[in-house]
Structures are given as structure tokens and as C-alpha cells.
Amino acid sequence: MTPDERVRACYQHAVLSFLSGNKMKNSTLCQRLGIDSKNSSQASVVIKQTLDEGLVKPADTNHPRSGYVPFWA
């Protein structure tokens, strides 16, 4: 996948998670993209890029580990 495709996949995963009543987390993105848990920093990079593009936002700004939701949620 190209970096743009990974950002798009991250956003789409956040949308699907939100619609299912969940929040996207690093671990769920790893599962979705097939990233091994020992390489979870790759998912963190994709999440940061998606945050920078404004496609996702933290679910709870007071608790940074609470997960992420789409920008419109």
C-alpha cells in the first residue's frame, strides 16, 4: 500500500469502528492492516498521518489512549 492508501484505510477503519460502536485503536488498526504486534509503531505512524490530515480525532482529548473516531463524529 502507498502511504496515501494507508491513511485512507485508517480513516475507513475509524468509520467502520465508530459505526460498530467502537473506537479505532492502534491494536485494531494493526489487525486491519496485517501489521505484526511487534511492529505496532508502523500503525502509530499511520494514525499520526491521518490525524495530521484531519480525518480522525481523539475520542476523548482528556484521555489520549481512549482511541480515535472520524473527524465528523
Q: Mind listing the pLDDT tens digit for each residue in 51-69?
A: 999 999 999 989 878 999 9
- Helix (H) / strand (E) element for 70: namely strand 68-70
Q: Are strands 68-70 and 56-58 parallel, antiparallel or unpaired?
A: antiparallel
Percent of the chain whose predicted confidence (pLDDT) is above 70: 100
3-state helix vs strand vs coil in the chain, percent to 5: 60, 10, 30
Q: Mind listing the pLDDT tens digit for each residue in 8-34?
A: 999 999 999 999 999 999 999 999 999
Q: Rounded CA gap, 2 and 20, in Å?
A: 27
DSSP-assigned beta bridge partners for residue 57: 69
Q: Which residues lie below 8 Å from residue 14, measured CB to CB, with a gap of 6+?
A: 24, 50, 55, 56, 68, 69, 70
Question: What pTM was computed for the model?
Answer: 0.93
